[in-house]
Structure 1
Amino acid sequence: MASIDSTPILFSIPTPHLHSSNFWLPESPLFDPTTGLVHFPDIPSRLIYTFNPSSPSPATSICTPDYIGAIFLSQHPDVFLCAAQFGIATVNKTTGDLNYVAYYYPPGKRERMRANDAAVDCKGRIWVGVMTSFGLGPPQEEGAIMVFDPKTMGLKVVKEPVAVPNGIVFSGDNGWCYIADTRKGIIYRYSFDAEKGELGEEEEWVKIQEEKHGKGAPDGMAVDKEDNLWVAMFNGCRVLRLHGETGEVMGRVEIQGSRQVACPRFAGRSLVITTGALVHMDAKLREECEFAGDVFVVPDVGVEGREIYQARLG
């Protein structure tokens, strides 16, 4: 078994593109190819930021009333669709106003849960990981992977229970779905029926091992046009590039000055990487990591990301 030290370093990023002591958990960057802009929610801060990955200009932001786990392009130019704290919602791009269209859980459990990472498939369905919300102690095995179907406007549970669901992505041919369970350190793979929106049998595709993958656990993921996966290693200071069929490590992106690497996303041939500053999980994080919570950009990784789909309603 090859060790992480023998794996090629594809890029080493010394400084962030966006730096702020106000960042806590930037997540799930969204690239809009029509504008060239990237949008991302900072979940605990209830903010959605917008910036240009090709420009040094500062980010702008809007405030939302609830936590947002991930945002998506929609058919409506004035709103994003999003995986919000309590359910699937629209969010106004200018005002931040939220309008829920479906809830994950009924009242009672609803108040203790929140959205984490999420994705859109080729039919406009939203796949979302739901987990224990902030301020309630360590995440419990009470979360789920759910799918929102725009035809029925309803949510269906496809996997439960799970504590920290992450990194939901689909292969370029829409034949496979990959989901990371951060707490277990496992990336699962499922055959995917895009027409029906159904997952096949669960396969333990990659089990993270420190000698082979380095420190940390799998978090957010992205897929490139060669069908390889780019996997953020939370508490591991890196993003791994894994072969989309074998799961073998092809290379790594080293993030200097930030440990809680949360999510990579493609913006054309650029790779946008968000990181966390969750000091309740790591009391020395801000002291030891100068760029904790910051957003990094690799200008050109040599390959484009896979197609970005619009989320749909009705």
Structure 2
Amino acid sequence: MNGQIELVIDAKAALGEGPHWDQVEGRLYWVDIDGRELRVYDPAAGTEDIHSFDQRVGAAVPAAGGGWVLAMEDGIYRFMEDQPLVLLASVEAEISSNRLNDAKCDSRGRLWFGSMNRKHAGKDGSLYVMDLEGEVRKVLSGIGISNGLAWDDSRGLMYYIDTLTFTVDAMDYSLQDGSVSGRRTVIRFAEGEGWPDGMTIDSEGMLWIAHWRGSCVSRWNPHTGEQLRKIEVPAPYVTSCTFGGEHLDELYITTACGGMSPEELECWPLAGGLFKIKPGVKGVAGNRCAVNADSITSDLNL
């Protein structure tokens, strides 16, 4: 049965993003990019731990060997609790106007991540992948804001969002070597629907997409381009979503409140919160990062 949306944490996150459900630990990891935080929510205990950093953190993915792999402003880092950050790869260090953004791992544990212009302008961003030995290669260039990622291994497909195009693209994807080809648009947002931001995929191969400036998440059939459902969220800036819970039947939704005026905050008092709903469909388990961090030297500069 479909549930009602509920507020999980009234976080007032400036730019809540990147939710990842860890099926092993039974915890939700998400970030406040502009707040420079990694947030760890334990629903069983009803507690949340917050790790703060000196720079923005665009995404956090649990690592197979413990801790997290972080996509930060200037590169990819390994983070273990109570230990210093370890730089795995410096990325776009020569482009001071850019920072890294969304990141996820495919089912082989490769880390996919992208970049964007800090002022949300131009097409200076790129999409990258870090393979299991730590080598980073550029997959796409000419990207506005590199955002949502999802895979359908059963169909050999990878889905990708460049927010500034208002579209979701599909690519033919090889699980064996991580190569992609045949990029084409499969979903296009209509005027007034907001901007496509983060996304996830459910067990039926349908995509769930967060609407920045759209106050909702929506479910789409990527094979027909049809919007199947819309879930209203009590926040104007909806950033991403992921399935979690013991049975992967809870959709966690992140939002942002940074830059909102006092009048807007009065109208949207829950903006920046973490929400969840049982939408009546199950998701797919998130993937841990299997990159062999011990084999990587930190002098990479891409």
TM-score (norm 2): 0.89
Out of 266, 273, 277, the residue aligned to residue 243 of structure 2 is 266
Q: Assess, with a 3 A threshold, how the Cα gap between structure 1 residues 71 and 138 changes in structure 2: closer, same or farther.
A: closer
Aligned to 2:60: 71
Is 1:104 the counterpart of 2:82 in the alignment?
no
Aligned to 2:27: 37
The answer for unaligned runs of 5 or more in structure 2 is: 293-302
Aligned to 1:59: 48
SS in 1 for 2:103: strand
Per-residue CA distance 1:253-299 (angstroms, 9 max, x = gap):
1112x01000011101111000011317x78532331111111011x
User: Aligned partners of 1:172, 1:201: CA distance in 2, in Å?
Assistant: 16
Aligned to 1:147: 129
- 1:215 to partner: Cα distance: 2.1
Per-residue CA distance 1:180-236 (angstroms, 9 max, x = gap):
1211201111110111211111111111114xxx52111100001111110001110
TM-score (norm 1): 0.85
- 1:307 to partner: Cα distance: 2.9
SS in 2 for 1:65: coil
Aligned to 2:180: 199
Letter in 1 for 2:166: G
SS in 2 for 1:313: coil
Q: Would you say the 8 A contact 2:111–2:291 is kept in 1?
A: no
- 1:54 to partner: Cα distance: 5.6
Is 1:88 the counterpart of 2:79 in the alignment?
no
User: Aligned partners of 1:244, 1:108: CA distance in 2, in Å?
Assistant: 36
Aligned to 1:120: 105
- 1:96 to partner: Cα distance: 6.5
Q: Assess, with a 3 A threshold, how the Cα gap between structure 1 residues 172 and 274 changes in structure 2: closer, same or farther.
A: same
User: Aligned partners of 1:183, 1:239: CA distance in 2, in Å?
Assistant: 18
User: Aligned partners of 1:245, 1:130: CA distance in 2, in Å?
Assistant: 27
- 1:43 to partner: Cα distance: 0.7
Aligned to 1:239: 217
- 1:140 to partner: Cα distance: 2.8
Aligned to 1:279: 259
The answer for unaligned runs of 5 or more in structure 1 is: 1-9
User: Aligned partners of 2:3, 2:237: CA distance in 1, in Å?
Assistant: 18
Aligned to 2:299: none
The sequence identity of aligned pairs, in percent, is 24
User: Aligned partners of 2:145, 2:170: CA distance in 1, in Å?
Assistant: 16
Out of 251, 255, 274, the residue aligned to residue 233 of structure 2 is 255
User: Aligned partners of 2:263, 2:173: CA distance in 1, in Å?
Assistant: 41
SS in 2 for 1:285: helix
Q: Would you say the 8 A contact 1:241–1:252 is kept in 2?
A: yes
Q: Would you say the 8 A contact 1:172–1:307 is kept in 2?
A: no
User: Aligned partners of 1:20, 1:126: CA distance in 2, in Å?
Assistant: 27
- 1:69 to partner: Cα distance: 1.2
- 1:149 to partner: Cα distance: 1.3
Letter in 1 for 2:237: Q
Aligned to 2:18: 28
Letter in 1 for 2:272: G
Aligned to 2:160: 179
Letter in 2 for 1:278: G
Question: Higher relative CO (CA 8 A, sep ≥ 6), structure 1 or 2?
Answer: 2
